[in-house]
């Protein structure tokens, strides 16, 4: 039974590999985004020593690491699920002897592995050449980061699956998906580290799951959070991973009872 699911990982990985040329431009896009924020922060820092607890060097690293982490955890599962629901192909998938949500997870994992090997690692190498990024030398930091990165992926994927499944209830969830992307980019700390937010906004951000995707792992990796703080970060990530399972399962249960196909 397990091998069925691992096959989904493998198949997705191979599918992605077939279209890998598209990812070369992706690497460039990410380096450009890092560039925009790098130059903007450089202008902000001027002579300032530290802003929001980040030194200029840490900020550069944070920006690069955040975008490269996104290169790994990002996926379009929300769109895939919503398409499956709208064109009705989900009906077929529901009668197959596997769990649809779990299969999506596995496909996401296959895509994640592809992105990790052919997008994030080469992208990181290029970013290292272009920008003064300082990565930690301590192997423990690396192991910790990879573990946290995996949790980032899991949490982001859960959010994507929940967003995708809303297509069961909203006929056209295009706006929902776009909104999710904006909210995730902002509140995950991708475009602005949360410690730079004004107090009230930072408080809101701290009560949302999104910071566990980018900001918390990024803070650890730039060396801003050390020691016991690292365990706190892991704890928060695990809590959100568990908490998000609840709406995901509930929505899926409800959804199966009200499948309503719009065409196909």
Partner 1 sequence: MMYYLGLISEYLKNYMKSRLTYRADFWVEVISDLLFQATNLIFILVIFMHTDSLGGWSENEVVFVYGFFMVPYGLFSCFVNLWNFSERYIVKGELDRVMTRPAYNLFQIFLENVDPPALVGSVIGLIIMGISGAQMDLAMEWWFIPALIILSLSAVAIYTGIYTILTSLSFFSDAPTGIIPLMYNIQGYGRYPVTIYNRAIQVVLTWILPFAFVGVYPASLFLHREDMRHMALLTPVMGIVFLTLGLLAWNWGIRRYRGAGS
Binding site for partner 1 (CB under 8 A): 21-22, 24-26, 28-29, 32-33, 35-36, 39-40, 42-46, 48, 51-52, 171-172, 174-176, 178-179, 182-183, 185-186, 191-192, 196-198
In the complex, the smallest distance separating the C-beta of residue 6 from partner 1, rounded to whole angstroms, is 30
Q: Which residue, 6 or 40, has its beta carbon nearer to partner 1? A: 40
Q: What H or E segment, with its residue span, contains residue 43? A: helix 21-45
d(CA 177, CA 181): 6
Sign of CA dihedral 222, 218, 25, 179: negative
| 87/174 with CB nearer partner 1 | 174
- For partner 1, the closer of residues 36 and 254 by Cβ is 36
| Closest to 155 (Cα-Cα) out of 225, 30, 70 | 70
Cβ 253 to partner 1 shortest distance, Å = 25
**Nearest Cα to Cα of residue 120 among 75, 80, 163:** 75
User: Of 35 and 223, which has the nearer Cβ to partner 1?
Assistant: 35
Question: In this complex, which beta carbon is closest to partner 1, that of residue 71 or of residue 148?
Answer: 71
Minimum distance from residue 114 beta carbon to partner 1 (Å): 16
Cβ count within 10 A of residue 182: 9
Give the chain's length: 264
> Closest distance between partner 1 and the C-beta of residue 249, in Å?
26
What are the contacts of 116-119 at 24+ separation with CB within 8 A? 116/72, 118/16, 118/17, 118/20, 118/23, 119/23, 119/26, 119/27, 119/71, 119/72
CB of 192 to partner 1, least distance (A): 6
């Amino acid at each position: 039974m397990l091998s069925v699911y691992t096959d989904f990982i493998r198949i997705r990985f191979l599918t992605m590999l077939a279209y890998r040329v598209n990812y070369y431009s992706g690497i460039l896009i990410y380096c450009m985004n890092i560039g925009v924020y790098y130059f903007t922060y450089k202008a902000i820092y001027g002579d300032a020593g530290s802003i929001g607890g980040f030194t200029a060097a840490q900020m550069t690293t944070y920006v690069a690491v955040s975008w490269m982490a996104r290169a790994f955890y990002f996926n379009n599962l929300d769109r895939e699920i919503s398409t499956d629901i709208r064109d009705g192909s989900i009906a077929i998938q529901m009668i197959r002897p596997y769990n649809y949500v779990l299969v999506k997870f596995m496909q996401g994992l296959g895509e994640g592995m592809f992105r990790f090997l052919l997008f994030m690692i080469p992208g990181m190498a290029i970013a290292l050449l272009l920008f003064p990024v300082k990565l930690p030398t301590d192997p423990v930091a690396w192991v910790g980061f990879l573990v946290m990165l995996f949790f980032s992926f899991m949490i982001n994927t859960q959010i994507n699956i929940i967003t995708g499944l809303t297509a069961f209830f909203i006929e056209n969830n295009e706006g929902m998906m776009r909104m999710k992307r904006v909210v995730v980019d902002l509140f995950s700390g991708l475009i602005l580290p949360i410690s730079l937010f004004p107090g009230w906004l930072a408080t809101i951000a701290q009560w949302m799951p999104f910071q566990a995707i980018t900001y918390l792992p990024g803070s650890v990796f730039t060396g801003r959070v050390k020691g016991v703080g690292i365990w706190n970060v892991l704890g928060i990530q695990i809590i959100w991973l568990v908490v998000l399972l609840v709406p995901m399962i509930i929505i899926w249960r409800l959804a199966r009872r009200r499948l309503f196909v719009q065409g196909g």
